[in-house]
Amino acid sequence: MSNGFLLQLSSPLQSWGEHSAFTDRDTTAYPTRSGLIGMLASAQGISRAQAVEGPPDSPPTAFASLRALHFTIRVDRPGTRLRDYHTVGGGYPASRTLPTAKGGRRKVEAATLVTHRHYLADAFFTVAVTAGPTAPENLLTTCTNALRHPHWPLHLGRRSCPPGPSLLLRADCTDPVAELSNVPLARKPPPGTPPSGDTSVTFVSDAPFPADDTWGPTSSAITTTLNDEPVRLTARDRIHHTRTLYTGHRMLPAHLCNGYGADYLDALHNYLHPAAPDAPDGTRP
C-alpha cells in the first residue's frame, strides 16, 4: 500500500493534447501525464521557465520531482468527442496580422486561419495519485496544499476548461488505488442491471496494475505508448518522452453508479462523511 490522494476531473469540457500542433489541437481519451503534472506545477507556482529537469548531477528541481508521481485513472464517463471550428487572426490591420515563419506578417486578405480544437464533453475521471520510491518525502503534502490554494488558476488541459469543485477529492488516502473501487461512480448503471449486479469500468495507469487481494482480479491489461512524459515545458522548447500506458477493465458493484446531479452529490457526500454506526441500544453516538 502507498499513501496518496484522490482527484476528480469534471468539467463541461476537457482537452488533453498529445501531439497538438499549429491549427489542429487534439485530445486523448484520458488525462495525460503531461497535463496532470503541468496542473500540479501550476498549483505550486512553478513557471514555464522553471519547468525543466536541471543538470544530471544536481538535486532534482521542483518540476522534476513531480515526475515521480504515478496516476491511476478511473473512467467514470468517457465523454463525447467535440470539435470546435475556430478562427484566429482575422479582422486586424496589416501591422497586427499573424506573424509568418519568415518574420513578416500575413496579408490582410489571407490573415484568417481556421483551427480545429478537440475536446471531451461531459467526461468525468477519478484519479489516484501516488508517489514513486524516488519522490521527495513531502511531495504529496506539497501537492495537496497547493491544490487547496493554487498559485495560478487550474485547468483541465486547456485554460478554457476549469475543474469542478471537488478537484481534490481526498487529501490523504492510505491506498488511493484501492480506494478507486469505493468512490461513487458518476454514471447510471447499465439498463437492466440489478442493484446487486456488477458494471464494467475502465482503468488507465502509467504503472502496471497491482495483483493483490486488495485490488482484486483485473482483465489482462492492454499496453500502448503515449508521448506525454514531460521533460521540459518551457514556453518555446517543450520536450516529451514516450511512456507505457496500461488500460484494463474491472467489474465494480453496480450500486456504486449514482447517476448525475444531486443524486451523485448526495452519494459523494455520504462517501466522504459516512454516518456513525448505531450504538447497541439503537442510538447514535
Q: Can you give the pLDDT at residue 284?
A: 45
CA angle 70, 138, 69 (to 5 degrees): 10
112 and 200, same domain (yes or no): no
11 and 111, same domain (yes or no): no
Integer-rounded Cα Rg, in Å, for the chain is 22
Q: Can you give the pLDDT at residue 216?
A: 54
More confident residue, 91 or 191: 191
Residue 270 lies in a domain: no
Cα separation, 71 vs 127, in Å, equals 6
Number of folded domains in the chain? 2
Residue 146 pLDDT level (bands cut at 50, 70, 90): very high
Q: Can you give the pLDDT at residue 285?
A: 46
Residue 281 lies in a domain: no
Residue 104 has pLDDT above 90, yes or no: no
Tens digits of residue pLDDT in 13-26: 999 988 776 677 78
What rounded mean pLDDT belongs to the chain?
A: 87
The secondary structure of 113-145 as a DSSP string is: EEEEEEEEES-EEEEEEEE-TTS-TTHHHHHHH
More confident residue, 44 or 212: 44
Residue 234 pLDDT level (bands cut at 50, 70, 90): confident
Q: What is the mean pLDDT of residues 205-233?
A: 75
Query: In the chain, what percentage of residues exceed pLDDT 70?
Result: 91
* CA quadruple 241, 34, 53, 20: dihedral sign: positive
Residue 90 has pLDDT above 80, yes or no: no
pTM as predicted: 0.87
Cα separation, 36 vs 226, in Å, equals 14
Residue 273 lies in a domain: no
109 and 236, same domain (yes or no): no
Residue 172 lies in a domain: yes
Q: What is the mean pLDDT of residues 152-178?
A: 93
Cα separation, 66 vs 45, in Å, equals 13
Residue 188 pLDDT level (bands cut at 50, 70, 90): very high
Cell numbers at 120, concatenated: 471531451
Residue 179 has pLDDT above 50, yes or no: yes
Q: Which domain holds residue 214?
A: 4-79+122-259
More confident residue, 126 or 240: 126
Residue 70, SS3 per DSSP: strand
Distance of CA 275 to the CA centre of its chain: 30
Cα separation, 117 vs 95, in Å, equals 27
**CB within 8 Å of 36: residues ≥ 6 apart:** 69, 71, 127
131 and 248, same domain (yes or no): yes
Residue 267 pLDDT level (bands cut at 50, 70, 90): very high
Residue 104 lies in a domain: yes
Residue 211 has pLDDT above 80, yes or no: no
Residue 278 lies in a domain: no
109 and 210, same domain (yes or no): no
Q: What is the mean pLDDT of residues 247-255?
A: 91
Q: Give the max Cα distance, the chain.
A: 83
Tens digits of residue pLDDT in 49-66: 898 887 777 788 899 999
